[in-house]
Structure 1
Amino acid sequence: MDLMLTGRRALVTGSSAGLGEAIARLLAAEGATVVVHGRSADRAEAVADAIRAGGATATVAVGDLATDEGAEAVADAALADGPVDILVNNAGAYDQLSWADAVPDVWASTYNVNVISAVRMIRRLVPGMRERGWGRVVQIGGGLGLQPMAVQPHYNATLAARHNLAVALARELTDTGVTSNIVSPGAILVESVRALVTEIAPAHGWSGSWEQIEHAAASEWVPNDVGRFGRPDEIAGAVAYLCSEYAAYISGATIRVDGGTIRSAF
């Protein structure tokens, strides 16, 4: 299927590894010019080089979106070769802190990194989309924003905020040709998740091959209907669809890609 992204320019924040890298690679494969973002120039360049080696087009923007100065530098780099049509706000951070350990300063820092960083990029890039009458904004959210666990409450709350701001933005962009949506992943098997599951497996009694450990973790830790963790490319596919012409009638929506972790009749 041709998603008709040729000629579009996309900035994917936090795309030097993990979910963001998978999203950047797929958008590039679908014809978009991709701006790879990260805080490490070497890692971002490595992803961009791999995209170029595959025959697609990629540039790099380096900066810390947790600061106004860093966000401005990233926006300037992203716009240097043309307008940005697609913004995927993927960059963020999480930890495993409990209520006792997540002190107010941690809450504030996490909110800045996971929410205000996205707002900074929206404020810098969406006005241009609005003026041109076409654009796609996708927030990477998560089921913990809807059904939080007791642990990492500060992170759960930032996911809820990302979902909320995406819907508010959709209302703001009514009848402009610019859409705002959310892709909500479940537990996705990126390197950090595999390392965490491997670390906690003995305490939970998960043993055997990696496939056996994954199945046990997916059954007991993050229960879902598929019986495994998701893969980065499965998230990238949902994002690419929302960025395409086929999704022009979708705005303010959440696409859950979580194996059925979050259950709803509607």
Structure 2
Amino acid sequence: MDLQLAGKKALVTGSSAGLGESVARLLAAEGASVVVHGRDRDKAEQVLKAIEADGGQGTVVVGDLGTDEGAAQVATAAGEVDILVNNAGYFEPARGWGDLAASDWADIYNVNVLSSVRLIQHLVPGMRERGWGRVIQIGSAVGIMPQAGQPHYAASNAARHALASSLARELKETGVTSNAVAPGGILTEVSERNLTALGQAQGWGTTWAEIEPNLLRALAPNDVGRISRPHEIASAVLYLASPLAGSITGTTMQVDGGWYDVPAA
């Protein structure tokens, strides 16, 4: 299927690794020019080299979106973009209500929510003027169905989802859409290594193939029975970024394998 992205320009924040890298590389494979963003220039350059090796094109911008000045620099360096994927963020799975200060909540909100707001303020007015654009927030399933752990992360993602919906109302009848994608777990190289070690310690198996279904049943069961792969999340992002999704706005698309917060019987 042709997603009609050739000639579009996209900024994907936090795309020097993980899900952001997958989104950037798929966008480039569909013909978009991609602005690879990160805080480590070497890592961002490596992603760009991979894109170019596959026949794609793009540029690199480096900057801290956690400050007004840093976000302004990134927006200026990126220039006019048609697609903004606000992916940059972080999570702390080991944190809970008992060890989180108010400053911890403020810190994660600044990075996971306000970094998106800053870039929206810089880049979306141009989309509105040109009559076409796509704004996509990467949220999380825990923003819809919070657990007891990492409540600050869940709250920040609920805010990301609400931000996407509110922005859609603001941009009605402009040709610019606003949506969010809410993944569950994502199997990256780092998460597979960490989860394999956890599974071995818990006696869930010795190899990842053995550990994955047991880990899911114990911690985050879903109907698919495995953790989502980055390209599966990225594919949903690409669809929302494409002209084909012009009638979808103000939504949060769950891509979580049918995750449910109830231990399997």
The offset of 1:219, in angstroms, is 1.8
Q: Distance in 2 between matches of 1:23 and 1:78?
A: 17
The offset of 1:77, in angstroms, is 1.1
Q: Distance in 2 between matches of 1:61 and 1:225?
A: 39
Q: Distance in 1 between matches of 2:237 and 2:101?
A: 34
Query: What is the 5 A alignment of 1:1-266?
Result: 1-79=1-79, 83-95=80-92, 96-262=94-260
Q: Which runs of 4+ in 1 moved over 6 A?
A: none
Give yes or no for contact 1:143–1:262 (8 Å, CA) kept in 2.
no
Q: Distance in 2 between matches of 1:262 and 1:122?
A: 32
Give yes or no for contact 1:3–1:246 (8 Å, CA) kept in 2.
yes
* Unmatched runs of 5 consecutive residues or more in structure 1: none
SS at structure 2 position matched to 1:138: strand
> CA 1:202–1:99 in structure 2 vs 1: closer, same or farther (change >3 Å)?
farther
Q: Distance in 1 between matches of 2:36 and 2:159?
A: 24
Count of residues in correspondence between the two structures? 260
Q: Distance in 2 between matches of 1:222 and 1:196?
A: 16
Q: Which moved more, 1:205-214 or 1:221-230?
A: 205-214
Q: Distance in 2 between matches of 1:105 and 1:191?
A: 30
The offset of 1:50, in angstroms, is 0.7
Q: Distance in 2 between matches of 1:5 and 1:49?
A: 20
Q: Distance in 2 between matches of 1:133 and 1:10?
A: 16
Q: Distance in 1 between matches of 2:156 and 2:190?
A: 19
1:34 maps to a residue whose letter is V
Q: Distance in 2 between matches of 1:75 and 1:237?
A: 25
Give yes or no for contact 1:7–1:32 (8 Å, CA) kept in 2.
yes
Q: Distance in 2 between matches of 1:171 and 1:137?
A: 13
The offset of 1:204, in angstroms, is 3.3
Q: TM-score, normalised by structure 2?
A: 0.95
1:127 maps to a residue whose letter is P
2:210 maps to a residue whose letter is Q
Q: Distance in 2 between matches of 1:8 and 1:262?
A: 36
Q: Distance in 2 between matches of 1:164 and 1:41?
A: 32
Q: Distance in 2 between matches of 1:205 and 1:167?
A: 43
The offset of 1:262, in angstroms, is 4.7
The offset of 1:215, in angstroms, is 1.3
Give a deviation string over 1:118-167, Cα, whole Å, max 9, x none: 10010010000000000000000111011111111111100100000000
Q: Distance in 2 between matches of 1:240 and 1:212?
A: 32
Give yes or no for contact 2:192–2:208 (8 Å, CA) kept in 1.
no
2:253 maps to a residue whose letter is I
1:216 maps to a residue whose letter is N
* Unmatched runs of 5 consecutive residues or more in structure 2: none
2:171 maps to a residue whose letter is L
The offset of 1:205, in angstroms, is 2.8
Q: Distance in 1 between matches of 2:252 and 2:64?
A: 27
SS at structure 1 position matched to 2:10: strand
Q: TM-score, normalised by structure 1?
A: 0.95
SS at structure 1 position matched to 2:97: coil
Query: Identity percentage over the alignment?
Result: 60
Q: Distance in 1 between matches of 2:177 and 2:113?
A: 19
Q: Which moved more, 1:69-78 or 1:192-201?
A: 192-201
Give a deviation string over 1:42-73, Cα, whole Å, max 9, x none: 00011011101111111001001001111111
